[in-house]
Amino acid sequence: MSAEKNNINEVKKVIQDVRASWWEDGLIEVMSGGLFMFMAAWFALMEFIPDANLKKGLEIGFYAVLIIFAISSAWVKRHFKKKYIWPKTGYARPQMSRKSKIVFLLVFVLIILNMVLISLWQLYQSGTSNVELPGFFIILNSYREGFFIGSFVFLAYFAVYLSINKKRFLITGILGLCSGIIAASILTIFNLDYSRMIVATILGIIGVYSLCTGIPRFLRFRRQL
Amino acid sequence: MSKKVVYERIGNINKLIHEPSRLLIVSILSGVKEADFTFLLRMSGLTRGNLSVHLSKLEEAGYVNVNKRFVNKIPNTVYNLTKEGRKAFANYLKNMEEIIKGKKKEKEKEKGNEN
């Protein structure tokens, strides 16, 4: 019986190693670290701009930038790998596990939900519509950005972890979630409705951690090629 | 699951996939949408000749699809598991898991009888 069991376990290990090979160069960690740092800078900029309309424009622009990044990053990764990595390692198109795909879908659902909640909140605050919000929503608004950003980050990295079983992705995800919860708590304790600087700090921490894990991995990988 | 059923399942194992090198190749291809020869060579650790022979056998059985193309004027062969290949691999894994379960139950039954 143990021979068959070893067989199956080895097959599962091979599949995981194959999926992990897409991430072994550290390129995606470097790119996501760069994205988080860019988002941190964007939020910090929003905090210091005095013009309210420009601030609102930048907030909407933030989501547009995220969508553009999501679409273009796949092309950038592919182009870079095609030129520098695949000639040495061979080419493979990755396949995510079903569990990972479901978790990624959940991330998109949460992003859309967050955008709807932001819109409702802004309508409510403007006082120009008859939008009525339940009491808990008003209390939760302080938690919203911190919790949602933390959740996005956790779920995205968790989806990768489910596919390839590498602990560093789970650690980054947990770091993101903890940062989000801590930020949300700070917002509530100091009675700040929404502090962009706190969100910028969360994103900055995750960005720095991603870059610190991604860059050495990328350099090590390049040396090995 | 009786011993007879377990032995029947063992007899029904897909021998084409069960061969260790081919099992390795199919496992690698199941983790990707497609991959080229260099990637398969690197991940499997097989020799070029060995890999080539096993891929041909899998292609003959309709489990693997071969796509020859040019990338920057250099020939590049890309392989992917067909629908039949993925189904056969899934059935193989399911069969193996059933055998393990059946053998485990048999072992527990024998232990119980001894006591």
Q: What is the 3-state secondary structure (H, E, C) of A143-206?
A: HHHHHHHHHHHHHHHHHHHHHHCCHHHHHHHHHHHHHHHHHHHHHHHCCCCCCHHHHHHHHHHH
Residues in chain B: 115
Task: Give B42's contacts in chain A (Cβ within 8 Å).
Answer: 89-90
Give the integer Cα–Cα distance in Å for A7 and B23. Answer: 9
Residue B47 pLDDT? 96
CA distances from residue B59 to A45, A177, B23, B40, B82 in whole angstroms, order as listed: 57, 46, 14, 15, 9
pLDDT band at B1 (very low <50, low <70, confident <90, very high): low
What is the ipTM, given to two decimal places?
Answer: 0.84
Torsion of CA A175, A181, A187, A191, to 10 degrees: -160
Predicted confidence (pLDDT) per residue in A116-167, tens digit: 776 777 677 666 555 565 555 555 565 666 777 788 788 888 888 887 888 8
Query: Among A189-193, A199-203, B10-14, B42-46, where is mean pLDDT lowest?
Result: A189-193
pLDDT lower than 70: segments of chain A: 1-5, 118, 122, 125-145, 193-195
Question: Burial of B39 by CB count in 10 Å (0-12 exposed, 13-18 middle, 19+ buried)?
Answer: buried
Rounded-to-10 torsion of CA A149, A152, A153, A158: 150
Nearest to B107 among A1, A14, A90 (CB): A1
Q: A139-164 burial, b for 16+ CB within 10 Å, e for fewer? A: ebbbbbbbbbbbbbbbbbbbbbbbbb
Interface test with B, best of A18, A86, A165 (most B CBs within 10 A): A18
Residue with tokens 């059923």, as numbered in its chain: B5
How close B114 comes to chain A (CA, Å)? Answer: 19
pLDDT of the residue at A132: 60
Mutate which of A93, A96, A101 to disrupt the B interface (most B C-beta within 10 Å)? A93
B50 and A CB contact within 8 Å: no
Q: How far apart are CA A1 and CA B101, in angstroms?
A: 9
Question: Given CB atoms, is A54 within the 8 Å cutoff of chain B?
Answer: no
Q: Do A93 and B93 touch (CB under 8 A)?
A: no
Q: DSSP character for B72?
A: T
By DSSP bridging, strand B74-81 and strand A92-94 are: unpaired
Say what the pTM is.
0.77
Determine the topology of domain B3-106 in CATH. Answer: Arc Repressor Mutant, subunit A (1.10.10)
Q: Do A5 and B32 touch (CB under 8 A)?
A: no
Q: Please give the Cα distance from A159 to B21 (Å, whole number).
A: 30
Please report, for chain B, the start and end positions of each structural domain, with discontinuous segments joined by +. 3-106
Measured CA to CA, the distance from residue A216 to residue A153 in angstroms comes to 21
Higher-scoring residue by pLDDT: B88, A188: B88
Probe site for chain A from B17, B100, B111 (most A CB atoms < 10 A): B100
